[in-house]
Amino acid sequence: MEQLTLLILGAGWTSTFLIPLLQSSSIPFAATTTSGRTVSGAPTIPFKFDPANTPEDELRTAISSLPAAKYVLITFPLTGNGPSKTLIELYNATHQSHSSAASQQARFIQLGSSGIWGAGRTIAAADKEKIEKELAEKRGGDPWVTRHSPINESNPRAIAENELLSLGGCVLNLSGLWGGERQPINWIPRVAATKEAVRGKTSLHLIHGEDIARAVVKIVTAEDGKWENGGGKGERWMLTDGFVYDWWAMLAGWAEDPAGEGKVREQGVWVRELMEEEDVRALPREMEKLGRCYDSREFWRVWGLVPIKILGGL
Ligand SMILES: NC(=O)c1ccc[n+]([C@@H]2O[C@H](COP(=O)([O-])OP(=O)(O)OC[C@H]3O[C@@H](n4cnc5c(N)ncnc54)[C@H](OP(=O)(O)O)[C@@H]3O)[C@@H](O)[C@H]2O)c1
Ligand SMILES: *[C@@H]1O[C@H](CO)[C@@H](O)[C@H](O)[C@H]1NC(C)=O
Ligand SMILES: *[C@@H]1O[C@H](CO)[C@@H](O)[C@H](O)[C@H]1NC(C)=O
Ligand SMILES: *[C@@H]1O[C@H](CO)[C@@H](O)[C@H](O)[C@H]1NC(C)=O
């Protein structure tokens, strides 16, 4: 069987953008889901990776049954020490290329979140503020965060990613995913339910599914040497669309109630009140008032890409 360019482990939301681009670019690929359902018209292989609850021989059989590919994209989170190593080593051991003398090891790419540079969204608001403050102090008060900034090494996903990096993999730490059905305006009830919640909202960083797909395709179709020479191997990248969005500015922009007739959403009213209370003369707020600000220029520069999907077109 001819070797595929890309094997997607976990064809979820991201793959609804990636699969159409792979198809239109005639890039040979295969994809898995836990159920084996069809994604964007492509059949998928049923595969569930659960090393803690799977006997070793079963795990080995499941991984050896996956097709051989030059690149493997893992979209679901791995946590703690062990799973990254198990997956990479078992895949590598069961997919040695017989066609060439110098057998090529598959290159692993893990999708992660930019949450590791911060406190993470599962942390209670009160603790979050304290943690964000500590992290900012660690950066010497600098609001700017790059892919080289210190991460929370005890975050279970960060531990698994570090293991993957040490085995020559690449991590793409994605900021807020949007596109298709995922529209930030629909996040208002979840993130801005109360005035106090809005008061605490600072920066937002986004990346559109289409730009993630373009980034992955660029990596897996790169010329020889790019992966080893600072492009992929052992590299952790941060992906945003290059904007630091201000939550207050966004809520102000969405102030008109969808019910129309000049009605205003309560979030729009709260933002006006907060501008008075916090002495913010106009929006968007200065970067220094926005907490973490991500600088992701390096990824786009190194890979020679321009993100094309910016929220609202601005
Ligand atoms: N939401 C955000 O704003 C945000 C921001 C930054 C980063 N991220 C991260 O970006 C990554 C990609 O996100 P996404 O939305 O594309 O993910 P998703 O839609 O949840 O897709 C995950 C895929 O992995 C499969 N899967 C899950 N657990 C598995 C396991 N143990 N073994 C094998 N397959 C498994 C799922 O199978 P089924 O299709 O069968 O369910 C699904 O196809 C995730 O790691 C996410 O945490 C998210
Ligand atoms: C992959 O397999 C090759 C050949 O057996 C071996 O030299 C290499 O160390 C393996 N790599 C990993 C990460 O297991
Ligand atoms: C990268 O993504 C993982 C998975 O979401 C996350 O746990 C980790 O904290 C992120 N790393 C950084 C540096 O943000
Ligand atoms: C780091 O992550 C751990 C585990 O998720 C969490 O308990 C801790 O509060 C985090 N620390 C910081 C500074 O984000």
Q: Is 54 in the pocket of ligand 1 (CB under 6 A)?
A: no
Interval between CA 127 and ligand 4 midpoint (Å): 10
Ligand with smallest separation from the Cα of 166: 2
> pTM of this prediction?
0.92
Nearest-atom index, ligand 1, CA of 176: 3
**Is 125 within the bounds of a domain?**
yes
Q: What is the DSSP string of 70-100?
A: EEEEE-S---SSSHHHHHHHHHHHH---SSS
Instruction: From 70, 87, 92, give the residue whose CB has the most ligand 2 atoms within 8 Å, as the site to mutate.
Output: 92
CA 261 to chain centre: 39
**Is 72 within the bounds of a domain?**
yes
**Is 86 within the bounds of a domain?**
yes
Rounded Cα distance between 294 and 291, Å, is 10
**Is 151 within the bounds of a domain?**
yes
Nearest-atom index, ligand 2, CA of 85: 13
Q: Is 48 in the pocket of ligand 1 (CB under 6 A)?
A: yes
Q: Whose CA is nearest to atom 14 of ligand 4?
A: 119
Nearest-atom index, ligand 2, CA of 92: 1
**Is 63 within the bounds of a domain?**
yes
Nearest-atom index, ligand 2, CA of 103: 4
pLDDT computed for residue 172 by the predictor: 97
Average pLDDT across each block of 10 residues of the chain; the chain has 314 residues. List them in order: 89 98 98 98 98 95 97 97 97 78 81 68 62 76 88 91 97 96 94 96 96 98 95 97 97 90 94 98 94 95 97 72
Rounded Cα distance between 62 and 47, Å, is 7
Number of domains, the chain: 1
**Is 99 within the bounds of a domain?**
yes
Interval between CA 120 and ligand 4 midpoint (Å): 8
Read off the CATH number of the domain in which 218 is found.
3.40.50.720
Rounded Cα distance between 67 and 115, Å, is 32
Nearest-atom index, ligand 4, CA of 118: 14
Identify the helix (H) or strand (E) that includes residue 274. helix 266-277
pLDDT computed for residue 3 by the predictor: 86
Beta pairing class for 206-208 and 176-178 = parallel
pLDDT computed for residue 186 by the predictor: 95
**Is 216 within the bounds of a domain?**
yes
Instruction: From 105, 107, 164, give the residue whose CB has the most ligand 2 atoms within 8 Å, as the site to mutate.
Output: 105
Interval between CA 25 and ligand 1 midpoint (Å): 23
pLDDT computed for residue 123 by the predictor: 53
Q: Whose CA is nearest to atom 25 of ligand 1?
A: 10
- Going from the C-alpha of 179 to that of each of 112, 133, 229, the distances in angstroms are 18, 31, 32
At 150, which amino acid appears? P
**Is 253 within the bounds of a domain?**
no
Domain containing 65: what range? 4-180+206-240+293-313
